[in-house]
Amino acid sequence: MRNVKGSILSNFVSPFFILLFNILSNNSLRRIESLEIPNSELIIVPYLCAMTFKNVKYILTDIEGTTTSVKFVYDVLFPYFREHIGELRSMVALDEVQRAFKQTVDLSQSLESRKLQSVDDIINILYRWSQEDRKITPLKTVQGLLWEKGYMNGEIKGHVYPEVADALKKWQKSGLSLGVFSSGSIAAQKLIFGYSEAGDLTPFFAHYFDTTTGGKRETETYTKIADELALSPSEVLFLSDITEELEAAQTAGMQTVQLVRPGTESNWPQTVADFTEIEIN
């Protein structure tokens, strides 16, 4: 026999404290799903609420898992690159391609002791490195070139979650400045937002930061960004799906909120399901 009294008590007490916490922390409750009682047991369905942030002058957003589905990179960008890699043969006259090919030859020798003899050899190894998701400079270069072509001829549209464009518009209209911080290169960031499913979103962003400023999990990177913006870190609200990044930003003094998109585990004190739940006061 279950201890029915204990079960009811614990199921009542924990939601009570969650409610109390939200009221005390001044979060307006957006939605609380009803309690269901199958098999005589109380089940608490997760709830989400709007979060209010004060004294924010700048919103700094991550891309993958925040404005954009993580799947976009793996389901759209990477396959596009592999399908179109043969087009590099007709691009060998470009300085960037020549430089990337030379780097590929050198890296193949130093990393794998393999001597590449032809353009086909170079393309084959770049194809394999792409399958292995290697973070190698010449691979990044040629990926960027083919993606740029794809975006510009309309074959690729940058994924953004449906509410993102309206939220950016609303925040900008209210006088906030907006910026991007992503591990993808600044050129790649501008392509995603410049050719997004919601149109050209680049006019909303005043700054773009990538890992040339510093690592996303390092506190000093966020200090540097606030310095570059000439703001106190506490005036910046950082949006990300990754706890380690939020932690680094918070340690630098920034305000933080985790985007819990489908597939993301909620593991930060301030969480929202999408941009509509972020309120700036």
Contact between 60 and 179 (Cβ < 8 Å) = yes
Which residue in the set 214, 241, 248, 280 belongs to the binding site for Mg ion (CB under 5 A)? 241
Shortest Å distance, C-beta 220 to Mg ion: 19
Is 189 one of the binding residues for Mg ion (CB under 5 A)? no
Provide the token pair at 81: 């690159």
CA distances from 251 to 108, 118, 223, 228, 256 (A): 40, 50, 9, 17, 10
Is 65 one of the binding residues for Mg ion (CB under 5 A)? yes
Is 277 one of the binding residues for Mg ion (CB under 5 A)? no
Q: Pattern 111-130, binding to Mg ion, x per CB under 5 A?
A: --------------------
Beta bridge partners of 236: 58
Is 64 one of the binding residues for Mg ion (CB under 5 A)? yes
**Of 125 and 188, which CB lies nearer to Mg ion in the complex structure?**
188
Sign of the dihedral through C-alpha 83, 85, 87, 89: negative
Q: Pattern 7-46, binding to Mg ion, x per CB under 5 A?
A: ----------------------------------------
Shortest Å distance, C-beta 273 to Mg ion: 15
* Calpha distance 273→137 (Å, rounded): 34
Residue nearest to Mg ion (CB): 65
Is 260 one of the binding residues for Mg ion (CB under 5 A)? no
Number of residues that bind Mg ion (CB under 5 A): 4
* Calpha distance 279→182 (Å, rounded): 23
**Of 65 and 144, which CB lies nearer to Mg ion in the complex structure?**
65
CA distances from 99 to 14, 94, 148, 197, 239 (A): 60, 9, 18, 32, 36
Stretch that binds Mg ion, among 63-71, 183-191, 213-221, 246-254 (CB under 5 A): 63-71
* Calpha distance 33→14 (Å, rounded): 15
**Of 177 and 240, which CB lies nearer to Mg ion in the complex structure?**
240
DSSP string across 204-237: G-SEEE-TTT--TT-HHHHHHHHHHHTS-GGGEE
| Residues forming the site for Mg ion (CB under 5 A) | 62, 64-65, 241
